[in-house]
Structure formats: structure tokens, C-alpha cells
Amino acid sequence: MSRIDILTGKRANVGNSRSHSNIATKRKQQVNLQRVRIGGVRVRVSARTLRTLKKLTAALAAHKSHQPTPAPTKK
């Protein structure tokens, strides 16, 4: 199973590790993947994506709970 964020497509970053004498060796920075359940399906998403999802669901819940009261009708 590859280490790829299902929702954003984020994957490993490749670069060089530099020693004290400036010798370059290849290294990989892996994605911080977490297993979470979204809509009853278990998926692997990055920690950054998980934070964003939590913020969006909280904002959506706050928006849904704050329904404006209907204006009084004239008789």
C-alpha cells in the first residue's frame, strides 16, 4: 500500500540530506498518514488534511445550527 493521501494526493517529498562536510545523500520525507473513518469508510489521510476536515465540519455544523428566524408577516 503506497503512502499517498487519498483526498489530496499528497505523497512523499524527495530531497538531499546534507552532512557536515556537505555530502549529499538522497532522503525521503514521508507523509504523516492517519487512518480515519469518513462516511463509514476507512481511509488514510494526512494530518494536515485531517485538521482541515475537522475545521470544515465544525464550520458546516455551526452554519447549519445558525438558521435565521423568519421575518414576521404583515397582516
CATH at 12: 2.30.170.40
The answer to whether 3 touches 12, Cβ cutoff 8 Å, is yes
Residue 6 lies in a domain: yes
For the chain, what is the domain count?
1
- Is residue 12 left, alpha or beta, with left meaning phi > 0 and alpha meaning psi from -120 to 50? beta
Residue 40 lies in a domain: yes
> What's the rounded Cα separation, in Å, for the pair 22 and 73?
77
- Stated pTM of the model: 0.71
Which alpha helices (H) appear in the chain, and where do they start and end? 47-65
Residue 66 lies in a domain: no
Residue 72 lies in a domain: no
Query: How many Cβ atoms are within 10 Å of 45's Cβ, its own excluded?
Result: 23
The answer to whether 35 touches 43, Cβ cutoff 8 Å, is yes
Range of the domain at 47: 1-57
pLDDT in tens, the chain (75 residues): 789 999 999 999 999 999 999 999 999 999 999 999 998 999 999 999 999 999 998 888 888 887 666 677 777
Residue 65 lies in a domain: no
